[in-house]
Amino acid sequence: MVKVGIIGGSGLDDPKILKRASEVELETPYGSPSSRLRCGIIEGVDVVIIARHGKGHTIPPSKVNFRANILALKEQGCTHILASTAVGSLRDEIKPGHLVFPSQFIDHTKKRGTTFFDKDMVVHTPMAEPFCQNLIELLASSAEDKKIPYHKNKTVITIEGPRFSTKAESHMFRGWNADIINMSTVPEVNLAREKQIHYAAIAMSTDYDCWREGEEHVTWEMILETMKKNADNVINLFLDVIPKIKEYNDVCVK
């Protein structure tokens, strides 16, 4: 049975899109999730929403309890996760306002709990293809139909934050073939794979980081403004794609 988790990022911590909505408060062995779980239905599909940074964006990136968030969604029976996230663009063609559906990540974080397998057993989880290609194709098809500018199969680099990059770092990340940059995809995506949950990111480009000459350097206010303008695009993708997920016989991640 398909059940979809939505992880709301900056500007999307409480998309009001559920029917028969209720809230669940729970505790995991890793502590409390970032927010109460909001449970309901979208077009006959059970959905659970969690606010990554808490309601009202009160939790900085390094303090997000990623393991508790993913485990909470797993314990609620989620088989798939759609995660919204704000990203900076490291490529000319990925303009502010465009959506990106990455297929690869580079981990440049430093102090996060990145695995569930660090105590009683050692498990080496395959991570060659960390994102669900079926979900990427569904998202891309939906964006195409809705004429929303998008890019797929790109690489996201996740930095620790909460500061933004220096120019030197931004150029270095471009040299590493990263296409977008954020502070949240890792370890979220690899933890989801460890729990055998299909995961895809809906990344919204909000700025050009600080590498591009002649562009205003990224600020928090810039990110929020772009997210506010384009939140409807992300919500429309949720509403269009979620009913289609149950058509795929891909519940078990290999």
Active site residue ranges = 207, 209
- Sorted by sequence, the CB contacts under 8 Å of residue 124 that are 6+ apart come out as none
Long-range contacts of 139-146 (CB under 8 A, 24+ apart): 139/82, 139/99, 139/101, 139/200, 139/202, 139/237, 139/241, 140/101, 142/237, 142/240, 142/241, 143/99, 143/237, 145/240, 146/233, 146/236, 146/237, 146/240
Please, what's the b/e burial string for 145-168 (b: 16 or more CB within 10 A of its CB; e: otherwise)? eeebebbbebbbbbbeeeebbeee
Residue with tokens 């931004």: 170
Q: Which residues pair with 104 in a beta bridge?
A: 155
| Cα–Cα dist 117/125, whole Å | 9
